[in-house]
Each structure stands twice: as C-alpha cells, then as structure tokens.
Amino acid sequence: MLHTFFFDSAASQPHGPTLWVNERLYSYGEIEAWARRVSAGLAAVARTSDVSRCLLFGHRSVAAYVGVLGILDAGMAYVPLSPKMPAMRIAAIIEQSGAPLMLVDRRCAGMLDEVLSLLDERPRIFLLDEDVGDPHLPSVATHLPPLPAAPYVQRQGSTHDVAYILFTSGSTGVPKGVPITHANADAYVKVQLQLDDNARDARYIQFCELGFDPSVHDMFVCWANGGCLYVPDTVDPVYNADFIKRHEITHWNSVPSVAGFMQQMRKLTPGAFPSLRVSMFGGEPLSRSLALAWARAAPNSRILHMYGPTEATIACTCFEVSAEFLEDSQHTVMPLGLALPSVELMIVDAELEPVAAEQTGELLIAGPQLAAGYLSPDEAGNSRFIAKTYPGRHARRWYRTRDAARATTQHGIVFQGRLDTQVKIRGNRVELEEVEHIVQACSQAALCAVIPWPLDEAGRAIGLVAFVTNARVEIALVLRACRQRLPVHAVPQRIVVIDAFPLNVNGKIDRMALAGQCAHGMVAA
C-alpha cells in the first residue's frame, strides 16, 4: 500500500526528520501520530457508509500532507484540489469525483464559500486543524467542524484499491479523472528505489501542488528512503537557489521550466549546488543548453530525464544524461530513454501494428503502472486503453499515448511530437480542444482554434493564442470568462479575431498557417 512506505520509515526512525514546511521541521513520529488521528476520525465519520474517496483541499501545508497520509490510512483514495485553480474548475472536479467527504486546511477554508455556491450537492467538510494561531487566517475556518476523536483501528485494504485520483485536461471541455491504484503507485516507487540506491540522509524538495503527479514521487520516494521532504513557499528562482544551499537539498525534481527560470536569473553558476545528488526533470522537453547549465551548477548530481503520462503513474521511461551526450552539439533535446523495469513499450502505426526499426509511430505503454481507465466509464478517452498482444511482449493491455516517437539503438526512445492537439505548458497537460470549447462558448464565435505560441528553443509551449471568427467578440469579457473556468496555464494570452480561417488541403483549419502568422508578427500583441 502506498502509505506504508511512510509508516514503515516512521516505525524504524520515529525521531528522524520527515517534513520541513512553513519554517518548521517535523519528525516521522509527529506526522505519524497526527495522520493516525486523521485516519481514526475519517473512519468514525464513514462508519455507517462505505466511503472510498475523500477530497483534500490544501495548499502544501503540514495539514495537507497529514491529510494525504490520514486519508490513505483510513482506506480511502485522496482527491487533491488545488487552490490555484479557479472556483468553477474546483467545483467541476468535486462533482465528478463523487467524494462525499472533504478535508480542508485553514489557508483554503477562505475559498470554500465561492466553491460551494457552485455545487448542487455539497460534501461533508472537516477542518484539518493546525497547531498555529495566525490571526490572519480566514475566520470561516472557525465554523468548520474538526474530525471527531476516535480510537485508531488498523484497516486492511487491497493493492487494487484506488490510492488517489488526479484530474487532467479533458478534450470535451471538462477535466477527466485518472484513478491510480496502490498497485500502480507501488510499482513506480519500487522502481525508483532501484534507480537511487544511495539515498541515505536524503533531502527532497517539492515545488508542485498535490494535484500534479510528480508530488507523489516527491512524497513517497522520499519517505520510502527515510528522507525528509522540504517544501519551499514559492517557486521564485532567486529564493529557491538559496533554498537549495541553505538546506543542502540532495534530490531535485521539477519541470525544466523551473530550472529555466533559474537560468534566466543567472542562478545556475558553476558549482552553485554541490549538495545535489539526483536531479530529475520531466513533464516537458529538456534542452541541451539547460542540461549543460544544470550539470555545471550541480557537478555532483546525476541528471535524469523522465517521461510518462498520468495514466501510467508519473514516469515510464528514463534517460540518464551523460557528459558525452552533452558534448555533442547535434543533440538539442534529451531523449525519453529506456523503459523503466516492468514497463513495456511499443511503437505502432495507425493500424496499431509495430513499425520498422528507427521508424516513427505512436508510443504505447503497458505494465503494472498502467491505470485501469478514467474515472467516468463514459469518458471518450477510455478508447485509448486497448487490449492487444504483440510477439515478444507480455502485456495484453496498452495505453495509446498519442505521442509520436521512434526507437533508437543508442539512446532509446526519442520524442517526435504529438499526434493530437495536446500540449504541455510548464509541465501541465492542456487539451487545446478543451480551451477551444470554452473560448467558443464564452465568445459565441462561429469557429475557434487555439494554438501554442510562443515556443522556446526546445519547442516547449510558453503560452496559447486563440483565434475566433466573430467581429463582435468582446475580448476582455472572453478572457475573464476563461480565467473563471481554466487553470492559469491554460488561459489564452491573446484572443485574435479573424475574418476566416486558413484551410489545409483536407479542408481543415491550418494551424501551421496560424502559427506562421504569429511568427511573422501578423498578429497584434
């Protein structure tokens, strides 16, 4: 079970440091005792009904981390809600989750009124109290009941139970839930323990919100190693460069964009981070120039480029960056590398048949990390989970990533782009169809097309531009509506009104032509 990685370490080193957050260090014993109280309280609340899911509305506070462990220990799956999401999106996730309970920390309690006003059916809400007396905390928190006190009873569960549910961008205009089981997560964590077998006195850093799956890596790989998780208050590059040095961080995990901001602020000076032993990057392409700068700043660190969709539990492939690879200027972006142990990969053509060696096709993923499907049985994306056997492969069930890739003998899998309209912005998945759906609904435009623009040197999307055909569109109102419905990284930076869309030879909207208009300055800022 996923949470046993923490509790096993707590049993062997109760006085060891496990969590640094809000300028305070907590021991394994402290967090264990608190998590057991949360677990007992949840069990008491759910005694008369079979509750399998619990919402967690927290902002990387000590209470939020305790909530994760308490929910899991109570035999439930946690459903994280990010306070950085707009209220309408949070409400949509709550409704889709079907979770009847919610734990909320004090910082997020002040957002509840707006979120709850959008719900037809409200979950039962309990305050995750903290041992703080901050007068600036929202008063609404005082009106929420704490979890009841109850005797702790160890609960048995199955590895096939769902551990957590994350929501990703959906092409139909609403987010889609991905349930990950304990078996899926266990397979991933155990592989990571094989990759890093010298993690004593480890100090992991965590930047992302709990609704982003790298957070699972940060928490449970750290705790499985008996390490301490350090949670900075901000992703500010100046602050975090100092944070690494001050706390002697040993394990780094982020999207390349975070390191890119540090590079822009000239914080990746040679030898800046001698304490780092492992640096992991994933979620978007890692450029050679950034990898070079990071290797110089962290000369004692391995650099691992990881790849994997949420549907296959955090990461499925790994490429360890070598000095020899970086010396070759022909390499502009890091490859995806080789499959992690127990993961199987296939590259296939449009008929799902294997392509010839070195040929480009769609990447399929299989193995124990693969989710059973999306939360909603009616989700159209479930068709991407397919049943098929291939000679020389053990798997009978695969996930179609819609990523174009080719297999090389020297560097493993190499990413070749997308086969659909999904893009990554700062490591976050964005389905352009979802953004188009919302822009079109808010603008009442006849047609809408959203493209990623501009792109950085590694081909990563920095923002989005939406094109609409409706001369009467009030752009300011459309952008405001987008901010109410979409996470900040998915809100278009510009809405451009055009008379007609350029079409390709198949009669479809020519997105390359739209990008060309942006590149040639034909689109007003």
At 406, which CATH number?
Answer: 2.30.38.10
Helices 4-12, 214-224: crossing angle, 10 deg rounding: 30
How many separate domains does the chain show?
3
- What is the identity of the amino acid at 404? A
Which of 168-182, 261-275, 337-351, 394-408 shows the lowest per-residue confidence on average (mean pLDDT)? 168-182
Residue 250 lies in a domain: no
Q: What is the DSSP string of 425-459?
A: ETTEEEEHHHHHHHHHHHHT-S-EEEEE-SB-TTS
Residue 171's pLDDT band, with cuts at 50, 70 and 90, is low
**Tens of pLDDT along 221-236?**
999 999 999 999 887 8
Return mean pLDDT, the chain.
90
Same domain as 442, residue 385: no
pLDDT, position 525: 44
- What is the identity of the amino acid at 423? V
Residue 465 lies in a domain: yes
pLDDT, position 135: 46
Same domain as 18, residue 144: yes
What's the whole-number mean pLDDT along residues 15-28? 96
Same domain as 109, residue 61: yes
**Quick one: which of 124, 125, 94 has its CA closest to 109?**
125
pLDDT, position 134: 47
* Cα end-to-end span (Å), the chain: 51
Q: Is the pTM of this model over 0.75?
A: yes
Coil, strand or helix at 413:
strand
**Tens of pLDDT along 324-366?**
999 988 888 899 999 999 999 999 999 999 999 889 999 999 9
Alpha carbon distance 375, 166 (integer Å): 10
At 160, which CATH number?
Answer: 3.40.50.980
Range of the domain at 470: 424-519
Same domain as 448, residue 413: no
Q: What is the DSSP string of 352-374?
A: SPBPPTT--EEEEEESTT--S--
